[in-house]
């Protein structure tokens, strides 16, 4: 099976779905000039002229316009250059996109996808490095997707582009170049299905996005010590596959929940509390959480490297948990 980067896998998903469905359009800043800041939309203008619109720097306008078009028969994919800038469109996301189906009594589908480059990369500091999943998973009506591999990214984006509900598609910038096997044949990955990326007996690591490869690394490092780690990749946060997480916890009886978001009020808090509330009897030890430091992302590499959890932290936390 060919290996592809997440960037190429996302681009393939867009091209293939645009080929299949004429109502898909792409909007965003610099999406033609440069294919977006991470070149995901490169080539669309040549292949699908007129179906990609390069916008002014107007996030509220981009998201609002995408939503309006979605209510009128189109299927827009809006790229917001950095998830940090989605804060400039919070009304459109939270008060409009998330609400229109419910508050209008189910009169309309809301097939709109926001692609949101996330997380730290290239030392971009406080306003270009955030992970805001938790803000969005708090809002009923939105779906939140966080792929960790090229394979998952393509399959999940295809599902997003075939659905009827808004999707906030978190693309971790540091994962764009990561490669995995991606088949040439068409496939889609349903939402609400976590993926056990590695089976194990002793400890479960529930990981999202960029923490998944680190969890797999940690598992490899711990295996020689006889510690058998299971890695569960949530893949989508809304809808959330509780059953898969609980099944793993019931098997291993020990769990670490990890993401790159600021720890306070982050996704890991939600997942940990679900386990504590609904799966407590399966636990032989308290749930552990590994997430980012509660600081704005600093610029200097000497500080930035201290913010998000690393493989070595997962290794240490796992040892502690089984010790």
Partner 1 sequence: MPVEAPSAEKLLDMYARMWRIRLFEEQAEYQSSQGKVMGALHTYIGEEGVAVPICAHLQDTDYITSTHRGHGHCIAKGADISRMMAELFGRSTGYCKGKGGSMHIADFKVGMLGANGIVAGGFGLATGAGLAAQLRGSGQVAVCFFGDGAANRGPFHENINIGAVWKLPVVYVCENNQFAQWTPQKDVTLVTDIANMSPAYGIPGVQVDGMDPLAVYEAAGEAIERARRGEGPTLLECKTYRFHGHNFGDPQQYRTREEIAEWSDNRDPIKQLAAHMRDAGLLSDEQDADIQNTVQEEITAAVRFAESSPYPTPDELYKDVYSYDIG
Judged by CB under 8 A, does residue 64 bind partner 1? yes
Q: How many residues in the shown chain lie near partner 1 by CB under 8 A?
A: 44
Residue 15 annotated in active site: no
CB 51 within 8 A of CB 18: yes
Q: Which is nearer to partner 1, 49 or 226 (CB)?
A: 49
Provide, rounded to whole angstroms, the least separation between the CB of residue 273 and partner 1.
19
Q: Which is nearer to partner 1, 56 or 301 (CB)?
A: 56
Provide, rounded to whole angstroms, the least separation between the CB of residue 78 and partner 1.
10
Identified binder of partner 1 from the candidate list 39, 60, 196, 282, rule CB under 8 A: 60
Tell me which H or E stretch contains 257.
strand 255-262
Judged by CB under 8 A, does residue 49 bind partner 1? no
CB 165 within 8 A of CB 110: yes
Judged by CB under 8 A, does residue 51 bind partner 1? yes
Sequence-separated (6 or more) residues with CB below 8 Å from residue 104: none
Measure the CA–CA gap between 277 and 300, rounded to whole angstroms.
40
- Of 237, 69, 262, give the one whose Cα is nearest residue 167: 237
Sequence-separated (6 or more) residues with CB below 8 Å from residue 30: 36, 37, 54, 81
Return the range that interacts with partner 1 (CB under 8 A); candidates 9-17, 90-98, 219-227, 263-271.
90-98
CB 69 within 8 A of CB 76: yes
Return the range that interacts with partner 1 (CB under 8 A); candidates 1-9, 53-61, 169-177, 214-222.
53-61
Q: Which is nearer to partner 1, 26 or 215 (CB)?
A: 26
Structure tokens at 248: 């793993």
Sequence-separated (6 or more) residues with CB below 8 Å from residue 180: 3, 4, 6, 149, 150, 151
Identified binder of partner 1 from the candidate list 4, 11, 101, 173, rule CB under 8 A: 101
Provide, rounded to whole angstroms, the least separation between the CB of residue 203 and partner 1.
31
Place of tokens 């779905």: 17
Return the range that interacts with partner 1 (CB under 8 A); candidates 67-75, 122-130, 216-224, 284-292.
67-75
Cα distances (angstroms) measured from residue 109 to each of 12, 68, 73: 25, 11, 9
Contact pattern from residue 295 through residue 314 relative to partner 1, giving x for each residue in contact according to CB under 8 A and a dash for the rest: --------------------
Provide, rounded to whole angstroms, the least separation between the CB of residue 154 and partner 1.
22
Return the range that interacts with partner 1 (CB under 8 A); candidates 93-101, 168-176, 210-218, 279-287.
93-101
Judged by CB under 8 A, does residue 163 bind partner 1? yes
Phi, psi of 231 (to 5 degrees): -115, 120
Structure tokens at 207: 């990981």
CB 195 within 8 A of CB 48: no
Provide, rounded to whole angstroms, the least separation between the CB of residue 100 and partner 1.
7
Strands 24-28 and 52-54: parallel
Considering only residues 219 through 258, tell me which ones interact with partner 1, judged by CB under 8 A: 239
| DSSP symbol at 216 | H
Measure the CA–CA gap between 154 and 217, rounded to whole angstroms.
23
Judged by CB under 8 A, does residue 3 bind partner 1? no
Return the range that interacts with partner 1 (CB under 8 A); candidates 7-15, 54-62, 180-188, 294-302.
54-62
Measure the CA–CA gap between 84 and 8, rounded to whole angstroms.
23
Binding footprint of partner 1 on the chain (CB under 8 A): 25, 50-51, 53, 55-56, 58, 60-74, 76, 91-92, 95-96, 100-109, 140-141, 143, 163-165, 239
Q: Which residues are catalytic?
A: 128
């Amino acid at each position: 099976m060919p290996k592809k980067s997440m960037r190429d896998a996302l681009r393939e998903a867009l091209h293939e779905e645009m080929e299949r469905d004429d109502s898909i359009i792409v909007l965003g800043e610099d999406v033609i000039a440069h294919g977006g800041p991470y070149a995901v939309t490169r080539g669309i203008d040549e292949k699908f002229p007129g179906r990609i619109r390069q916008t002014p720097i107007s996030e509220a306008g981009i998201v609002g316009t995408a939503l309006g078009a979605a209510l009128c028969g189109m299927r827009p994919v809006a790229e917001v250059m950095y998830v940090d800038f989605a804060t400039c469109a919070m009304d459109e996301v939270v008060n409009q996109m998330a609400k229109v189906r419910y508050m209008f009594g189910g009169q309309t589908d809301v097939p709109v996808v926001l692609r949101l480059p996330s997380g730290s990369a290239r030392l971009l500091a406080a306003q270009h490095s955030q992970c805001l999943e938790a803000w969005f998973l708090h809002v009923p009506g939105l779906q939140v997707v966080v792929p960790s591999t090229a394979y998952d990214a393509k399959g999940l984006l295809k599902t997003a582009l075939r659905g009827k509900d808004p999707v906030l598609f978190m693309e971790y910038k540091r994962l764009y170049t990561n490669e995995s096997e991606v088949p040439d044949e068409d496939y889609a990955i349903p939402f609400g299905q976590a993926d056990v990326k590695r089976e194990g007996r002793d400890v479960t690591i529930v990981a999202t996005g960029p923490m998944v490869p680190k969890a797999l690394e940690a598992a490899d490092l711990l295996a020689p010590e006889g510690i058998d780690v299971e890695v569960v990749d949530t893949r989508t946060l809304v809808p959330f596959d509780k059953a898969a997480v609980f099944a793993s916890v019931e098997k291993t009886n020990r769990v670490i929940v990890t993401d790159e978001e600021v720890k306070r009020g982050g996704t890991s808090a939600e997942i940990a509390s679900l386990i504590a509330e609904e799966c407590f009897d399966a636990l032989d030890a308290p749930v552990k959480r590994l997430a980012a430091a509660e600081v704005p992302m600093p610029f200097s590499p000497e500080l930035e490297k201290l913010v998000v959890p690393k493989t070595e932290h997962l290794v240490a936390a796992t040892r502690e948990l089984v010790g």
